[in-house]
Amino acid sequence: MASFAIKVIRLSLKAVAAVSAEKAGEAAFWIFCRTPGRKPKSAKETALLEAAAPVMQGSRKVTLSFGGGWVAARHFERRSSPRHQRILLVHGWGSRSEYLATLIDRLLSSGAEVVALDLPGHGASPGRTLTMPQAVRAIDAAWRHFDGFDAAIGHSFGGASLACAAGAVLCDVPARVSGKLVLIGAPSEMTWLFKGFGRALGLKPKAQAAFEGMVERLSGRRIDGFDAARILAAVRKPVLVIHAEEDKEVPADHARRYAAAGSNVELHWANGLGHRRIVSAAAVVERVADFLREEGKAIPMSKIA
């Protein structure tokens, strides 16, 4: 059953659409891009942030600029090993770097250098909206500042953002392709998100077309160009996809689409862990560490576009 807020939004958009379907679609887009509040919504989230504090204290905050704004990142310098990996982490929608603390701690223990990015409208980064073009530009800003990454790990929207960044989906941002890529509970295409949101808001065809058209207005690329699975098929780098078949937020079919992209994609089912617990589960963290450690799959940064 739709919430009271959704019902109010539906009625409001319906009224706007009666005057202009274009305006209704534009309004729907900015509602879609609105990011959640940053304050913990439950005692469990508060506890997670408190537990993450000791790990996060080992980092320094870095400000990264890009066209249209700036974002914050946490830089964890390597603890050991002269031949270390530099790894980029990107959280999901409504999340923040602190929620990746378990994974960060495990990567640091292996001697890696870690950069955890807070996307626009999340964590320590400013704003209350997030679009895929913004996410790609934020990733590009991290790439320029740190001179590339040996591996990149993204959860949910963060995973899709990393894949899109690898596909040079913005004409003024080069492809940012790491030697290895890990996608955890990540959607494989943006069209699915927009269709689902449009149905939730009861958008009629003309308003839906305007809603989706906002992507092209902002990026110069149609929404079907943000197909992360198709991008990975072209990139041909080693990719590990981790997903739970019972994931209620991002259906398992997205993981299957990734797996079908090519032999460079390995699919690992982490059933029973849902969409959010999966990113800090011990078995998942170890599988990620194993994948990054495997020989013969990494590509030196000097050979990465």
Q: Are 66 and 254 in contact (CB under 8 A)?
A: no
How many CA atoms are closer than 13 Å to the CA of 152, on its beta-carbon side?
28
Region 207-232 average pLDDT: 96
Distance CA 1, CA 93 (A): 23
Domain locations along the chain: 1-34+190-224, 43-189+226-303
Answer whether 0.85 is exceeded by the pTM. yes
Q: Over the chain, what HEC string results?
A: CCCHHHHHHHHHHHHHHHHCHHHHHHHHHHHHHECCCCCCCCHHHHHHHHHHHHHHCCCEEEEEEECCEEEEEEEECCCCCCCCCEEEEECCCCCCHHHHHHHHHHHHHCCCEEEEEECCCCCCCCCCECCHHHHHHHHHHHHHHHCCCCEEEEECHHHHHHHHHHCCCCCCCCCCCCCEEEEECCCCEHHHHHHHHHHHCCCCHHHHHHHHHHHHHHHCCCHHHCEHHHHHHHHCCCEEEEECCCCCCCCCHHHHHHHCCCCCEEEEECCCCCCCHHHHCHHHHHHHHHHHHCCCCCCCHHHCC
End-to-end CA distance of the chain: 47
| Buried-state track 208-218, b at ≥16 Cβ within 10 A, e below 16 | bebbbbbbeee
The pLDDT, as a whole number, for residue 81 is 61
pLDDT grade, residue 220 (50/70/90)?
Answer: very high
pLDDT grade, residue 154 (50/70/90)?
Answer: very high
Query: What mean pLDDT value characterizes the chain?
Result: 94
Lowest mean pLDDT among 2-11, 191-200, 245-254: 2-11
Give yes or no for residue 298 having a pLDDT over 70.
no
Distance CA 52, CA 105 (A): 9
Give yes or no for residue 84 having a pLDDT over 90.
no
pLDDT grade, residue 299 (50/70/90)?
Answer: very low
Lowest mean pLDDT among 2-6, 66-70, 136-140, 212-216: 2-6
The pLDDT, as a whole number, for residue 4 is 86
Region 16-45 average pLDDT: 96
Region 23-40 average pLDDT: 96
The pLDDT, as a whole number, for residue 5 is 87
Give yes or no for residue 277 having a pLDDT over 90.
yes
Tens of pLDDT, residue by residue over 159-182, are 999 999 999 999 999 999 999 999
Say if domain 43-189+226-303 classifies as CATH 3.30.470.20. no
Distance CA 290, CA 230 (A): 26
